[in-house]
């Protein structure tokens, strides 16, 4: 980076201060001065200053009407543009006349250089401020009239960056600063910054995508796809939209900051769009044999009596299906805001239960009939019959129960032994005399 103020004389060994190459504004300035009457330098200076001040006054006093008439076709922005550009316009005329007056004095090149730089620096700063204010005023106008006003601060920052960049570039051109090294360095720095700030750039473009898609706004109730979201909270209200992230508050009053790139790549359910209201679905089951007309009339009356339920669209009841144990209905009603869903559902459920109890309408519960069949224990199974695992288990259990006697219980053991002996002495005819000769015969 260098400023071209001095150059070495090629044909001599001495340093000579020479004028830099004339710029376009200097060439035009000298052309205008050449058209003036042949006057001494100081008279030309005063003449140009006087003419420039008169022109500035004319623009200030009479130009307002002309400029406003020319901009009348832009009904929405004419006042903004005129109000912000009127002052820079006549200041530029006055400073331009001062610049021409300085050129008419034919001063030393170095003095002309600094005088020109100072005057043009003032002009650039004036117009830079004017452009910034025009952009801010137009964005403020959109903020008041458009629905997508939550992203206006992002565009304000972008507009400020553009204006500053143009102003700095113009100032460097005025002072004849070589920006070639700066451009090379900026390219390298941009590559490094791009790798270092990948997430930030991704979030920035994600914010623009959310704005263009109009995914949600401040105050909307949103839900995240349970399979894709990283947070355990399902429902949350959007409280802030930033250039890098979005802030939401859950029903448990927990604040979560989510990068825009995550919201841009995941599934988001906006309960507040396209309209702010939300429909509630309340399932109701009644027993078979109930009076359907009386039930439907009672449920509609319950919904209409709740002050949180909207009158338009009106509440309605739908018979959905014949259930296994009940007739399944669904009560449909609307609330003004998704935030009221939980509270309204609570009050409606309580009112429905009380009304059904008053009307004598039964709310059934699932019932099942279980039939138990007793097995044929006395039947002798053939060897070819399939083995029932349950019988094997029962036999093992019964065998274990027959062998289970408390340790040390000698009286019960003796009683069983005596019973076994008596059974052995009893003959087949039941007399107990041990004579089986008749049977043998």
In whole angstroms, what is the distance from residue 321 CA to residue 29 CA? Answer: 90
Closest CA to 35 of 95, 93, 104, 85: 104
CA distance 338 to 280: 9
Phi then psi for residue 218, to 5 deg, are -65, 130
The two tokens of residue 161 are 């960056």
CATH placement of domain 278-359: 3.30.70.100
- Give residue 397's pLDDT band: very low, low, confident or very high (50, 70, 90): very low
Looking at residue 61, its pLDDT comes to: 75
The per-residue pLDDT for 186 is: 77
Domains 201-270 and 278-359 share a fold: no
Burial 191-230 (b: 16+ CB within 10 A, else e): eeeeeeeeeeebbbebbbebbeeebbbeebbbbbeeeebe
Taking the domains of the chain in order of start, what are their residue ranges?
21-175, 201-270, 278-359
Q: What is the mean pLDDT of residues 23-37?
A: 60
Type and span of the H or E element at 232: none
CB 99 within 8 Å of CB 120: yes
Helix extents (H) in 371-409: 389-402
- Cα separation of 366 and 328, whole Å? 13
Q: Which of 367, 359, 365, 366 is nearest to 291 (CA)?
A: 359
d(CA 438, CA 422): 21
With H, G, I as helix, E, B as strand and everything else as coil, classify residue 316.
strand
Query: If you average pLDDT over residues 203-221, what whole number do you get?
Result: 83
- Residue 327's pLDDT is 96
**Model pLDDT, residue 240:** 87
Which band of pLDDT confidence, cut at 50, 70 and 90, is reported for residue 188?
Answer: confident
Q: Whose structure tokens read 């001599």?
A: 12
Angstrom CA distances, 118 to 33, 99, 111, 114, 285, stand at 20, 10, 11, 6, 85
Number of residues in the chain: 441
Angle 56-57-60 (CA atoms, 0-180°, nearest 5)?
Answer: 85
What are residue 327's DSSP bridge partners?
286, 322
pLDDT in tens, 261-312: 888 888 888 999 888 899 999 999 999 999 999 999 999 999 999 999 999 9
201-270 belongs to CATH 3.40.50.970: no
Q: Do the strands 245-250 and 235-241 form a parallel or antiparallel pair, or are they unpaired?
A: antiparallel
Q: Is the pLDDT of residue 221 over 60?
A: yes
Residue 214 has what DSSP assignment?
T
441 three-state secondary structure: coil
Query: 281: which strand partners?
Result: 332
Mean pLDDT of 114-118: 90
pLDDT tens per residue across span 60-82: 777 666 666 665 555 566 667 77
| Nearest CA-CA partner of 97 in 54, 57, 48, 60 | 48
Q: Is residue 439 scored above 60 in pLDDT? A: no
Q: Which pLDDT band holds residue 424 (cuts at 50, 70, 90)?
A: very low
Place of tokens 């909307």: 220
């Amino acid at each position: 980076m260098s400023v071209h103020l001095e150059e070495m004389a090629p044909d001599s060994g001495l340093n000579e201060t020479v004028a830099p190459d004339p710029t376009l504004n200097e060439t035009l300035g000298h052309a205008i001065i050449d058209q003036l009457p042949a006057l001494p330098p100081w008279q030309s200076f005063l003449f140009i200053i006087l003419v420039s001040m008169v022109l500035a006054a004319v623009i200030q006093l009479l130009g307002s009407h002309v400029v406003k008439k020319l901009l009348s076709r832009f009904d929405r922005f004419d006042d903004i543009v005129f109000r912000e550009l009127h002052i820079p316009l006549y200041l530029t005329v006055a400073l331009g006349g001062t610049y021409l007056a300085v050129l008419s004095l034919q001063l030393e090149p170095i003095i002309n250089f600094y005088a020109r730089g100072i005057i043009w620096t003032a002009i650039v700063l004036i117009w830079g401020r004017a452009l910034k204010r025009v952009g801010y005023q137009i964005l403020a106008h959109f903020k008041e009239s458009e629905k997508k006003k939550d992203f206006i601060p992002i565009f304000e920052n972008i507009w400020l960056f553009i204006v500053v960049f143009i102003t700095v570039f113009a100032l460097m051109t005025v002072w004849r600063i070589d920006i070639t090294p700066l451009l090379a360095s900026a390219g390298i720095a941009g590559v490094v910054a791009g790798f270092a700030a990948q997430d930030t750039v991704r979030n920035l473009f994600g914010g623009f995508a959310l704005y263009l898609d109009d995914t949600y706004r401040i105050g909307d109730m949103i839900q995240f796809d349970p399979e894709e979201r990283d947070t355990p909270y399902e429902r949350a209200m959007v409280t802030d939209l930033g250039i890098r992230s979005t802030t939401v508050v859950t029903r448990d009053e927990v604040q979560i900051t989510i990068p825009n790139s995550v919201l841009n790549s995941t599934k988001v359910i906006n309960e507040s769009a396209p309209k702010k209201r939300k429909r509630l679905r309340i399932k109701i089951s009644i027993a078979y044999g109930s009076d359907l007309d009386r039930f439907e009339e009672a449920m509609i009356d319950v919904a209409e009596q709740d002050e949180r339920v909207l009158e338009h669209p009106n509440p309605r009841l739908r018979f959905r299906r014949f259930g296994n144990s009940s007739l399944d209905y669904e009560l449909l009603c609307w609330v003004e805001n998704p935030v009221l869903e939980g509270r309204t559902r609570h009050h409606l459920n309580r009112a429905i239960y009380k009304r059904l109890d008053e009307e004598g309408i039964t709310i059934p519960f699932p019932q099942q009939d279980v039939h138990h069949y007793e097995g044929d224990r006395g039947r002798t199974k053939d060897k070819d019959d399939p083995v029932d695992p349950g019988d094997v288990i029962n036999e093992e259990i019964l065998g274990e129960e027959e062998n289970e006697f408390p340790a040390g219980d000698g009286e019960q053991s003796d009683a069983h032994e005596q019973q076994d002996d008596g059974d052995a002495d009893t003959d087949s005819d039941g007399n107990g005399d041990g004579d089986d000769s008749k049977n043998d015969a």
